[in-house]
Chains A and B, each alone.
Chain A
Amino acid sequence: MREEEKSIDKASQEILEIAEKEGIDTAWDRYEAMVPQCGFGELGLCCRNCLLGPCRIDPFEEGPQKGVCGATAEIIAARNLIRMIAGGASAHSDHGRDIAHTLLLTAQGKAKGYEVKDEEKLLSLARELGIRTNGRDKKEIAIEVAEKVFSEFGQQHGELQFSHRAPEKRQALWRKLGIMPRGIDREIVEVMHRTTMGVDNDCENLITHGMRTALGDGWGGSMIATELSDLLFGTPKPIRAKVNLGVLKEDEVNLVVHGHEPTLSDVIVTASQDPELIELARKNGAKGINLAGICCTANEILMRHGIPIAGNFLQQELAIATGAVDLMLVDVQCIMPSLSSVAKCFHTKLVSTSPKAKFPGTEHIEFKEEEALPIAKKIVRMAVENFKNRVKEKVNIPGEKMDLVAGFTAESVFKFLGGKYRATYRPLNDAIISGRLRGAAGIVGCNNPKIKHDWGHVEMAKELIKNDVLVVVTGCSAIANAKAGLLKPEAAFQYAGKGLREICEAVGVPPVLHVGSCVDNSRILITLCNVVAEGGLGDDISDLPVAGAAPEWMSEKAVSIAFYFVASGVFTVLGNPFPILGSREVTQLLTKRLEQIVGANFAFESDPIKAAHLMIDHINERRQALKLKPVMYEKEEVAVR
């Protein structure tokens, strides 16, 4: 694979070339060595759930068509898929649990480095959770909020509190289908039970429970993570920043945070501004301390502090390969095990911090909320002291960096459309109703060497905004689009269709809006609820002219996200198919029949332009069903294309 075939990002291409010269293995090299990947696995036809097996079904129908227990392709594919949902939902939910834990310790006065930054949100959340707020101490309320949220994880019956944010009609449908999540952990455990040897053998019944589990993530674990993070670290507001490997600095200490949770990274922001440590950096010959991030922990501190982003998932090895990273701190999720070996080729110190995620051969400094600031300072100090070990000849920082605006939320951005004094969703709904906007779409998810790095995200976003579809992005998709310059307000002039351009010009927002990390996909759910509540676009999420996509997905978390969007009524296109194509029935169910069941289905399309048009077609269909006016600038758009 040539560098240009691996990534569309110039900075990545540059470092990949260096990596190749130096003999440093990257995910692309390992992917090439792995191809062809196991066909049984790709099709979802391999079962390892008990020791009658491992069993596999021959997709060409010559060999065995049933596992030793009698499981068919349908059963095996469905079981495997919902186990992926369980994995993804666990990751998001455990993240949410950790934030709740931090909130509790903070309110109890045990975690000194934190405070409740958004009191307004604390009060509104408390009221929503049925907690009395009148005349009570803020800390008392916060303790009760944390305890109430904790109980959502272990709840055995009833309904998750935040699921009541969904439109009435959607809630009624979930109850009718029996997929209203009861407790976050309960549904995940039930996936494991149903998929163990000899339990649930009906693929539709299995997938249905998969949806319930995913809903417990989207409207439970992930939403808790977002809400409580806003409460503790502040609700984001639009903020300018820079992105790509070029944000690393030759003459400063470069500390890169990588992973997902904001608990440590947010305190690192404070620690890196400590005058004593900055002075120490100067003594060590550096001009200052430069903090940058990778993946979603980066998105968290970008959204709230404007900290620059060094790159997305596939750039984690490349960041180290610039030779300029003095310390990379990791917590949980999406951290490649290969990092320790890449770090060994340079002076870079890799530091793991979560008791849940250790890396043999790297330094482990366990993070404890109670001692957050001292630990953060210790790590920053290590980075500063390691600066002098940097080998000048090995430093290659690419010039590429791009400006961006991030920090949009369900509370802020859409209200901006109405102006400061008339903060409502009305203007957004009106824009769609009048046809100035065709609709809206979310592009989310990971990177995957199976699809040219960033290409899927960027091409899809460009095609959508060209067709007057407002795009919201999270996670690694947000970082990809930021690098391509689509998160700058000016991007509207260059790429957006006329209708979208008019709106961006009037309000001053970019045509592609960064709404946060991957747990912040819950912000998109809330936004959709607000749009429905505002009125004029139907009475359920599935009526809205919107669509979702994960063009470069790879993680189990993406499977859970995709499922909670579809189960909430959002048509979703995936770049790579789920590993289920070996079962015709499961494929049929997901790509066709779900539409009749939950009002939305999946599509699989690896070409981002074709995928964008699947989304546009869906949006057009929904517009027609709502009897909305034709899209204002449709003809011109066609002429441009």
Chain B
Amino acid sequence: MEKIFCDIRKCLGCKSCEIACAVEHSASKNIFQAITEEKKPRQRVVVESTTREPFPLRCHHCEDAPCVQACMSGAMYKDEKGFTRHDAEKCVGCWMCIMVCPFGAISRQENLALKCDLCPDREDSFACVEGCPTKALFAGSWEEFQEKLRKEES
């Protein structure tokens, strides 16, 4: 299963993934127009840091996702590929998902939960991965990511 991984040693905290994510979730998909859109496009990734090391924080699509278990309306669910999805129609805004998420990767937009939706308007790429100037972000399987790290080490 393809996921987004981050080699945190390469993250410089530039927040380009945040910008790319917000633009991807705008109506125009163009930064110059996106900033003037009436409904401000919202990012689903945020660059955080512990001590001074930055890293991008976003939904990890956990195998055993606490948010899915905690969701009382069934808005958070697992799709056939195992990704954690959010059905805005069903969301009642109880914020249980936010309470239980071990990463703090879910935020709010008005009265709905908001999280990484894996760029539904794209076919086989992710805005944050493409927007990462140091290539700290990587899309692929866990094995592929490990192999990439191994190759870079050697």
Q: Which residues of A contact B (CB under 8 A)?
A: 34, 36, 38-40, 42-43, 56, 58-63, 577, 581-582
Contacts and interface: CB of A to CB of B under 8 A. Distances in A.
A581 B33 CA distance: 9
Interface stretch (B12-20, B69-77, B145-153): B12-20
A582 B18 CA distance: 15
Given A59-B35, A577-B32, A581-B35, A39 B23 contact: yes
B15 A43 contact: no
B32 A36 contact: no
B41 A39 contact: no
A582 B35 contact: yes
Given A40-B19, A43-B31, 10 more contacts: A36-B16, A36-B131, A38-B19, A39-B19, A40-B15, A56-B15, A58-B18, A60-B42, A63-B15, A582-B35
B84 interface: no
The 9 A-B residue pairs with the shortest CB-CB distance, nearest first, are A39-B19, A59-B35, A60-B22, A36-B131, A39-B31, A581-B32, A60-B40, A38-B16, A36-B20
Interface in B107-137: 130-131, 133
A338 to B, nearest CB: 19
19 contacts: A34-B133, A38-B14, A38-B19, A38-B133, A39-B16, A39-B19, A39-B20, A40-B15, A40-B16, A42-B31, A42-B32, A43-B31, A43-B32, A43-B35, A58-B18, A62-B40, A63-B18, A577-B32, A581-B32
Contact of B40 (A42, A43, A61): A61
A40 B31 CA distance: 10
Interface string B15-58: 11011101100000001101100001111000000000000000
Contacts of B23: 39
Contacts of A38: 14, 16, 19, 133
A72 to B, nearest CB: 15
Contacts of B41: 60
Contact of B42 (A43, A62, A582): A62
Nearest to B33: A581
B126 to A, nearest CB: 12
A43 B34 CA distance: 11
A36 B130 contact: yes
A581 B31 CA distance: 10
Interface of B: 14-16, 18-20, 22-23, 31-32, 34-35, 40-43, 130-131, 133
Nearest to B37: A60
A437 B55 CA distance: 60
A384 to B, nearest CB: 45
A86 B134 CA distance: 31
Contacts of A63: 15, 18
A520 B33 CA distance: 35
Nearest to A38: B16
Contacts of B34: 59-60
Residue from A36, A38, A39, A40 with most neighbouring chain B CB atoms (10 Å): A39
A34 B40 CA distance: 26
Residue of A36, A40, A63, A577 with most partner-chain B CB within 10 A: A36
Residue of B15, B23, B130 with highest tally of chain A CB at under 10 A: B15
Nearest to B40: A60
Nearest to A576: B32
Contacts of A40: 14-16, 19
Contacts of A56: 15
A37 to B, nearest CB: 8
B79 to A, nearest CB: 27
Nearest to B20: A36
A343 to B, nearest CB: 28
Contacts of B15: 40, 56, 58, 63
A39 B24 CA distance: 12
A36 B130 CA distance: 7
A78 B107 CA distance: 33
B124 to A, nearest CB: 17
Nearest to B133: A38
A40 B130 CA distance: 16
A60 B133 contact: no
Q: Which of A40, A60, A62, A581 has the most CB of B within 10 A?
A: A60
B17 to A, nearest CB: 10
A47 to B, nearest CB: 14
B19 A59 contact: yes
